[in-house]
Structure 1
Amino acid sequence: MAEIISMPQLSDTMEEGTVIKWNKKIGDEVSEGDILAEIETDKATQDFEIDVNGILLFIGVKEGEKTRVNDILAIIGEKGEDISHIISKSKKQEQKKINKEVKEINKDNKDRIYISPLAKKMAISKGISIHNIKGSGEYGRIIKKDIESYEKIKFKEDFVNKKNAHSSMRKRIAKHLTFSKFTAPHYYLFSEICMDKLIELRKNLNDKLSLEERISFNDLIIKSVAQSLKKNSNMNVSWNEEEVLFHSSINIGIAVAVKDGLIVPVIKNADKKSLLQISKEIKNKVLRSKSKKIQPEEIENSTFTVSNLGMYGIESFTSIINTPNSSILSVGSIMERPIIKNSKIEIGNIMKITLSCDHRIIDGAIASLYIHSLRKLLEDPITILF
């Protein structure tokens, strides 16, 4: 008996999915455990594994197209089985849903278009169809200012060369960051760190390592961030309306730019891992994030986030907190600057950082102590190795 395969909900926030690739075609035999398709959610691209056996009889969504969770994705059944009644029923149900939505939108509308004589004259002279205009006057009447507003919008649209629909990932990012920015009262602490000794340490380490094992500045920073959080446990916290949550694990999220936006893979228990372990894990997760092969559980449960734009030549910047984290560290480029040492002006390597904090839970004194601890580690980094 034929079975409908619906668009699965592959993440807790997923509302719709895009079929990136079908691994089977109509007429192919499929078995339990086969990867039927690659589906892009609002977080990542995942393999969709089926749990039935049979023949792929129908594909409801083309590659590159999106559909809502629980909508028909495919039909699997026996060879030669008639599924026309299933497709017909599904289309009728979908049409009923659409009709209902349209009815709800239009239930208060009338067929007649109300328009003032002046607005009508302006529309005719300018060649504007009044069917495209929503009136702002009494009972939806189109008035002069509606024609003028429509003209301005149309004028702007004439300069738009291209429009790209928002991806599921971009929508999720927008929703998440808007919630964070307007829910958590942000404040920012700025600091400069001398990186001379860290540069020397990195060089000495990489001279002894293979090309594949080489350590980046970001690796050293992540390790230092984790060790500083261990010493300042009141920074490794989250807010909810009833209580402060102190996390037993130090899980560092790393902001990674991808084609459609941003992914934050997580290095879990970073304080307990060696520098080499952290380096290898970061390389692996960044690569899989950019190819959209990262798994949902690998981008969850961070307790602190680091955003590093130093490789792009950015001197300093601020970041929006990745809730439910209560803080995020923004890391800029390492740049040569004149500095004062022993009452003399010398050239040193300076890195600017910005710590964004949620003032509901982290006060300025607590955040300042954390920055002091982090700066101490980075400026005298030998203890990073232990």
Structure 2
Amino acid sequence: MIALSPTMQDGVIAEWIAEEGQAVKPGDALCEVETDKATMPYESPVSGTVLKIVKAAGQTAAVGEIIAVLGKPGEDWAAVIAGATPVAERPAAGPSAGVTSTEASFPALGPIEPTVAAPAAPPLSAPPAAPRASTASAPSSPAGASPSSPAGIPPSSPLARRLARDGSVDLRTLRGSGPHGRVVARDIMAAAGKDTVNADAPKSAAPGGASIGMASRGLRDERVPLSRMRSIIAKRLGDSYSEAPHFFVRAAIDMERLLELRAAVNEGRDKPIGLNAFVMKLTAAALERHPLVNASWEGDAIRYRPAADIGLAVSLDAGLITPVVRACERKGVEDIDAELADMVARARSGALKPEEYADASFTVSNLGQYGVEEFTAIINPPGSAILTLGAVSKEAVVRGDAIVARRTMRVTLSSDHRVIDGAVAAAFVAELKALLEEPALALV
């Protein structure tokens, strides 16, 4: 098992696609592995026969463990394992890089590349995302987008979705036999009356695991095992909240000028630029002026970051992910918005690369589309601060001697007190408030 993300320590075999005794060739899907962020297909790097499945579906394999053995028909799989050296790191490019075996052409399956990360693979078209199950636990928040697939579509594996499209099978008519009701390849084959899987069909990445659509479930007494992503989210946020002394600074922002600017920029555009892009751009400007906030705690040192690498919390079927727009201070709102749209779509299809959601220096979380006025969030390491955005709504505001209605948004900055002092956080929020209320100040 290789590490499919920077923080991955192990993964769960979600489903075996290949069977023992089955002949495979390079690119054939062998199994699907549920990591901390997505369920990804493992593809065979070589031609051979599946001699032994070492880790069964549902079992956890640590990074570096062997999950299966490929070899020649009749070859002693135990001898292959005995002579293999598990690899814990991603191999270099090439079909046999990092692969160990008694014969180089038939490796033990530790270092098989996932589809979405294979350096030589062509870009894959993402299947429609499964319906979203929004989570309320901070710092999770959707990026302001609605679910990209119709309601009623059950969670499904990448191969199942591909087979369903190829065979014109309606996923909404199926009851999944996989973990947590997940539709897997055998369900599609049964519905289509097929006995075999087309292993040559292109493979697509899938969302991070089974989702629980609480709005449609109704009240019931049920114990649902944690998905891999939910387990990781629980651990990381628990660690963050227990290790980092959080404190919070709040402000109410007059959004009239920024919303007028956004309307002017979007005039005549087929695809309007989202509010998140404007907020991230102006946040980057504030971080440039207050670099002490753009920092990371590293135990015996504080690392001050050279660029505003801002993450945006996005909800997935199984939890949340934080795509990162690098160096926002050097990009325009159009570029930021385009990157966000691309990464959010790929995040929801499971095709986001690990380096695209890691190492944010600052995070933004927006629950405003749900009508939430304000909320606090847990810091997303390695950053030391996270900014939450509430809904924009009209409020009565005193202007001179008059009371007027102004579109207002409430924000909260959660900070790590080990890195950021109260006065530093307050000065940053004051700067951000000034920039959001008068965007032209970012030009000064």
1:55 counterpart SS class:
strand
Say whether the 8 Å CA contact 2:6–2:355 is kept in structure 1: no
Matched, 1:28 2:23: yes
| TM-score, normalising length: structure 2 | 0.63
Say whether the 8 Å CA contact 1:274–1:385 is kept in structure 2: no
Residue aligning to 1:287? 345
Structure 2 CA distance for partners of 1:291 and 1:61, relative to 1, 3 Å:
farther
Residue aligning to 1:276? 334
Q: Deviations over 1:271-317 (max 9, x none)?
A: 11111110011111112222222111111111011111111111000
Structure 2 CA distance for partners of 1:23 and 1:293, relative to 1, 3 Å:
farther
Matched, 1:10 2:4: yes
2:67 counterpart SS class:
strand
Paired amino acid for 2:60: T
Please say which structure displays the higher CA radius of gyration: 1
Matched, 1:188 2:228: no
Residue aligning to 2:280? 222
Matched, 1:68 2:61: yes
Say whether the 8 Å CA contact 1:44–1:296 is kept in structure 2: no
Residue aligning to 1:347? 405
Residue aligning to 2:184? none
1:208 counterpart SS class:
coil
1:369 counterpart SS class:
helix
Of 14-23 and 315-324, more deviation after overlay is shown by 14-23
2:262 counterpart SS class:
helix
Matched, 1:178 2:238: yes
Q: Greater share of helix residues, 1 or 2?
A: 1
1:295-306, aligned counterparts within 5 Å?
Answer: 295-306=353-364
Which of residues 221, 228, 242 is equivalent to 2:300?
A: 242
Q: Deviations over 1:37-90 (max 9, x none)?
A: 442211233343444332334445566x24222554322112454658879xxx
Question: What is the distance in 1 between the residues matched to 2:14 and 2:341?
Answer: 25
Matched, 1:337 2:331: no
Residue aligning to 1:205? 265
Question: What is the distance in 2 between the residues matched to 1:241 and 1:67?
Answer: 30
Question: What is the distance in 1 between the residues matched to 2:315 and 2:398?
Answer: 36
Paired amino acid for 1:323: P
Question: What is the distance in 2 between the residues matched to 1:384 and 1:34?
Answer: 52
Question: What is the distance in 1 between the residues matched to 2:7 and 2:259?
Answer: 42
| TM-score, normalising length: structure 1 | 0.72
Question: What is the distance in 2 between the residues matched to 1:210 and 1:385?
Answer: 27
Paired amino acid for 1:43: K
The CA deviation at 1:322 is: 1.2
| CA root-mean-square deviation | 2.8
1:10 counterpart SS class:
coil
1:161 counterpart SS class:
coil
Say whether the 8 Å CA contact 2:24–2:44 is kept in structure 1: no
Paired amino acid for 2:243: T
Of 331-340 and 8-17, more deviation after overlay is shown by 8-17
Question: What is the distance in 2 between the residues matched to 1:17 and 1:274?
Answer: 38
Question: What is the distance in 2 between the residues matched to 1:86 and 1:71?
Answer: 14
Q: Which runs of 5+ in 1 are unaligned?
A: 1-6, 88-158
Residue aligning to 2:36? 42
Q: Deviations over 1:241-299 (max 9, x none)?
A: 32221111210011111122111111111111111110011111112222222111111
Q: Which runs of 5+ in 2 are unaligned?
A: 82-218
Aligned-pair identity (%): 37
Question: What is the distance in 2 between the residues matched to 1:280 and 1:342?
Answer: 40
2:287 counterpart SS class:
helix
